[in-house]
Structure 1
Amino acid sequence: MLRFMPVGDSQTIGSAGEHTWRYRLWQHLRDTYGGPFRLVGPRETLYDKATDAPTSYEYADPDFPRAHLAGWGEGWLHMAPVIGDAVREHRADVLLVALGLIDLGFYTNAEQTEENVRAFITQARAARPGVRIAVLPVIPNIRAVDEPDFGAQVSLFNELLAKAVADLDEPRSPLLLTSPPPSYDLDRDTYDGTHPNADGEHKIAAAFADALWQGWGIGQAYGAGSD
């Protein structure tokens, strides 16, 4: 049984009424991965905008393993201290990580955020020495377009993230930097310039799926099989 743990912020937890990219990736792996697998993690809910809390189970399709470690407004800063316990408890084999936007937007600059990336990886490996980690760079968002200084921080962080992944990669616990979703468009792929709509969910899922296939031979390239 291969256990995948999605780790992320609002783009990963999703909000009430959505499928989420987690669902799209699960659907793809269900159709392409040759062995048993699950999504695992300490949380299952979506964010409920009406109550401003992660209390919703109103998935567009709830019939999938909904477990994750994602939170609305959480970043590397928040996940580094808790990832060890989550990995240990749920025996995660592969972490699918999409973080950074929240850190840069509210808490830490690019260099400080990169330090938290390294702390996250250290804690995950301490809990499970053979864990594999696939990391998505910060993807296009409206704030990076509207605020040049913020956009520069995003670009710098993505460069530092690539360097950290290269520096810390090791055979026993490999790291993988996914490519940003190709042709990701804020008008077509988000509903507010930041959070993915159905098209954006597919593109984020594709970024992870293609990296897993190309880097580690897991599943296949993301195709047209997902709904």
Structure 2
Amino acid sequence: MLRFMPVGDSMTIGSAGEHTWRYRLWQHLRDTYDGPFALVGPRETLYDKATDAPTSYEYADPAFPRAHLAGWGEGWGHMAPLIADAVRECRADVLLVSLGLIDLGFYTNAEQTAANVRAFVTAAREANARLRMVVLPVIPNIRAEADPPFATQVSLFNELLAKTVADLDEPRSPLLLASPPPTYDIHTDTYDGTHPNTHGEHKIAATFADAMHQAWGFGHPYAAATS
């Protein structure tokens, strides 16, 4: 049994009424991965905008393994102290990580955020020395279009993230930097300039799926329409 743990911020937890990219990836792996697998994590809920809390189970299709470690407004700095226990308790084999936008927007600069990436990876490996990790670079959102200093921080962090991943990658615990979705457009793939709609969910799922297929031979290339 291969256990995948999605780790992320609001783009990963999703909100009430959504499918989430987690669901799209689960569908893909269900149809293409040759072996037993599960989505794992200490949380299951969606974010409820009405109550401003992660209390909703109203998935567009609740019939899938909903486990994750994601939180609305949470970033690398929030997840680094949690990841070791989550990996250990859920026996995760592969982390699928999409973090950084909220960090740069509200909590830490690019250099501080990169330092939290290192702390996260170190803690995760303490719980499982053979853990695999796939990390998605930050996808610039609508704020980056109107706020040049923020856009600069996003670009700098992505550069630092690439260097950090290359530096920390090791054979027994591969650390893989996924390619940003090549056709991702915040005006057509999100519903508010940040959070993915159906098109965006497929594209984020595809970038994780394709990275794992290309690097490790997991499953097949993502087949759903992502253009």
Q: TM-score, structure 1 length as denominator?
A: 0.98
Partner of 1:70: 70
Question: Alignment length, in residue pairs?
Answer: 226
Aligned equivalents of 1:105, 1:51: Cα separation in 2: 23
Matched, 1:48 2:79: no
8 Å Cα contact 1:140/1:184 also seen in 2: no
Partner of 1:2: 2
The Cα offsets for residues 54-89 of structure 1, whole Å up to 9 and x where unpaired, read as 000000000000000000000000000000000000
Shift of 1:224: 2.4
Q: Tell me the SS of whatever aligns to 1:115.
A: helix
Alignment of 1:116-155 (within 5 A): 116-155=116-155
Aligned equivalents of 1:224, 1:11: Cα separation in 2: 19
Q: Tell me the SS of whatever aligns to 1:143.
A: helix
Aligned equivalents of 1:71, 1:99: Cα separation in 2: 10
Aligned equivalents of 1:139, 1:25: Cα separation in 2: 18
Alignment of 1:1-227 (within 5 A): 1-224=1-224
Q: Tell me the SS of whatever aligns to 1:215.
A: helix
Aligned equivalents of 2:140, 2:184: Cα separation in 1: 7
Shift of 1:146: 1.0
Q: Tell me the SS of whatever aligns to 1:130.
A: coil
Shift of 1:187: 1.2
Give the 3 Å change call, closer, same or farther, for CA 58–18 of structure 1 in structure 2.
same
Tell me which moved more, 66-75 or 216-225. 216-225
Aligned equivalents of 1:221, 1:149: Cα separation in 2: 36
Q: Tell me the SS of whatever aligns to 1:189.
A: coil
Aligned equivalents of 1:150, 1:224: Cα separation in 2: 33
Q: Tell me the SS of whatever aligns to 1:190.
A: coil
Aligned equivalents of 1:147, 1:35: Cα separation in 2: 46
The Cα offsets for residues 25-77 of structure 1, whole Å up to 9 and x where unpaired, read as 00000000000000000000000000000000000000000000000000000
Unaligned runs of 5+ in 1: none
Paired amino acid for 1:187: H
Shift of 1:225: 8.0
Q: Tell me the SS of whatever aligns to 1:187.
A: coil
Q: Percent identity?
A: 81
Shift of 1:150: 0.2
Aligned equivalents of 1:128, 1:170: Cα separation in 2: 13
8 Å Cα contact 2:137/2:177 also seen in 1: yes
8 Å Cα contact 2:101/2:138 also seen in 1: yes
The Cα offsets for residues 99-136 of structure 1, whole Å up to 9 and x where unpaired, read as 00010000100000000000000000000000000000
Aligned equivalents of 1:225, 1:136: Cα separation in 2: 20
Aligned equivalents of 2:208, 2:31: Cα separation in 1: 15
Q: Tell me the SS of whatever aligns to 2:172.
A: coil
Aligned equivalents of 1:150, 1:83: Cα separation in 2: 27
8 Å Cα contact 1:4/1:96 also seen in 2: yes
